[in-house]
Amino acid sequence: MTTSTPYAGSTAALVIRALLDFRSLWTTHDLVTTTGIPAPLVRRVINRLEQDTLVRREAPGVVAVPDWLDLLYRWNQDSRFSTEVRTTYWRSKRGVQGLLDRIPGTSVRYALSGTHAAQRWAPQTPNGPTVIYTPDAQLAATTWELVPAKTKSIVLAEPAADVVYIRARKTTDGLRLAAPSQVLSDLLTGAASSRNAGEPLTRWMQENEFEWRY
């Protein structure tokens, strides 16, 4: 982390994703256990969040998140899909649905994000690129029989850290979706064609907090 972007990087992402994904009172020990981040680094993130009034002290050594959406918005100022993820563009001879039907049966690590993931919770989400996180885009493209393209119909996104795969959801048809907080973050920071693409998912998350926050 740097002074100008205190919430950039994997350390902050792991801590903030935990704070977003769970409705909980947090101790440093709990965050260390959940994130695997050493206690001094966890305290550094929490202290900065407290300075920015994004967490609130409930007792000595105990914090809570007063507004998860404020936290997500501030995180997104420093951590953006458009700048922190390596993306390549592809197309499928079977079409997008054919690709989505195929990938659950393969051994490639992945998590679906972007508008196609958001539509699973918020069907009103406008259509946009099919965004799939995977650690090795070329391996995934070969396994899924994709060919390079100039358009953004299918976007394979190689993340800098594994946090994007944490707490993924599995659909009834076997697809792994990135967690709602990750999907919304991506939609708001470059993973969608429309700047308003995140509005339906934001509303769903506000109205159904107990369904996505543990």
Give per-residue pLDDT as tens, 145-203: 999 999 999 999 999 999 999 999 999 999 999 999 999 999 999 999 998 999 999 99
Give per-residue pLDDT as tens, 71-110: 999 999 999 999 989 999 999 999 999 999 999 999 999 9
Q: Of 20, 44, 23, which Cα lies nearest the Cα of 32?
A: 44
100: Cβ contacts below 8 Å, ≥ 6 apart: 112, 116, 130, 175
Asked whether the predicted pLDDT for residue 1 surpasses 60, the reply is: no
- The mean pLDDT of the chain is 96
Asked whether the predicted pLDDT for residue 3 surpasses 90, the reply is: no
Q: Which tokens hold the place of 76? A: 């997104």
What are the domain boundaries of the chain?
10-78, 81-212
DSSP three-state, residue 173: coil
**What is the average per-residue pLDDT within 105-127?**
98
Give per-residue pLDDT as tens, 18-61: 999 999 999 999 999 999 999 999 999 999 999 999 999 999 99
Neighbours of 119 (CB within 10 A): 17
Give per-residue pLDDT as tens, 6-19: 999 999 999 999 99
Q: Which tokens hold the place of 20? A: 């977003």
Q: Supply the CATH classification number for the domain 10-78.
A: 1.10.10.10
Residue 2: per-residue pLDDT: 44
